[in-house]
């Protein structure tokens, strides 16, 4: 028996199922994308004020991946560390850990987005209250520094 099949057969059951769910959803995402259906729009985590936000995304975002490298390295890392954790903790405790850390990541991402969005909206409101080329230029430079747009009066 080669090393890979021995390693995979020793993978605990919850970890196997989590990896399988991730792979199946990733392949479904690619397949549906070819049909014009964007699963990311339904399953990835959106900011709560977005028209695409749904509460179930706090769970489904844990199984979404942006590309082949993303899913490969995530599943490889999950397999490397997850099998040890599940063997030591047991299946139930490992599943709870996986879900709690995924929900925690969603909460942190939502909070950071809130901070960024509320700051931008505050500055946008201030800019609109004193609208002019200079105010717009300052807003763009502060929030979109990669843009090379300059509005100067001649």
pLDDT single digits (tens) 14-39 = 999 999 999 999 999 999 999 999 99
pLDDT over threshold 80, residue 79: yes
> Exposed e or buried b for every residue in 96-114, given b needs 16+ CB within 10 A?
eebeeebeeebeeebeebe
Task: Collapse the DSSP code of 32 into the 3-class scheme (helix H, G, I; strand E, B; otherwise coil) and give the result.
Answer: helix
- Report the chain's mean pLDDT, rounded to a whole number: 88
CA 62 – CA 18 distance, rounded (Å): 10
pLDDT over threshold 70, residue 8: no
Q: Confidence band (pLDDT; 50, 70, 90) for 7?
A: low
Q: Can you give the pLDDT at residue 14?
A: 97
CA 11 – CA 5 distance, rounded (Å): 10
The residue count of the chain comes to 154
Who has greater pLDDT, 9 or 50?
50
pTM for the full predicted model: 0.75
pLDDT over threshold 50, residue 152: no
- Domain boundaries defined on the chain: 3-143
User: Rg of the chain's alpha carbons, rounded to an integer?
Assistant: 22
pLDDT over threshold 50, residue 83: yes
Q: Confidence band (pLDDT; 50, 70, 90) for 148?
A: low
């Amino acid at each position: 028996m080669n090393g890979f099949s021995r390693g995979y057969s020793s993978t605990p059951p919850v970890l196997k199922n989590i990896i399988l769910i991730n792979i199946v959803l990733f392949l479904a995402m690619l397949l549906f994308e070819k049909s014009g259906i964007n699963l990311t729009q339904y399953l990835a985590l959106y900011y709560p004020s977005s028209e695409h936000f749904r509460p179930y995304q706090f769970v489904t975002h844990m199984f979404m991946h942006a590309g082949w490298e993303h899913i490969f390295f995530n599943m490889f890392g999950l397999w490397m560390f997850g099998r040890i954790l599940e063997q030591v903790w047991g299946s139930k405790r490992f599943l709870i850990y996986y879900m709690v850390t995924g929900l925690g990541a969603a909460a942190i991402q939502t909070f950071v987005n809130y901070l960024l969005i509320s700051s931008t909206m505050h500055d946008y409101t201030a800019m609109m209250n004193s609208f002019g080329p200079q105010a717009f230029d300052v807003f763009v430079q502060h929030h979109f520094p990669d843009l090379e747009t300059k509005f100067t009066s001649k």
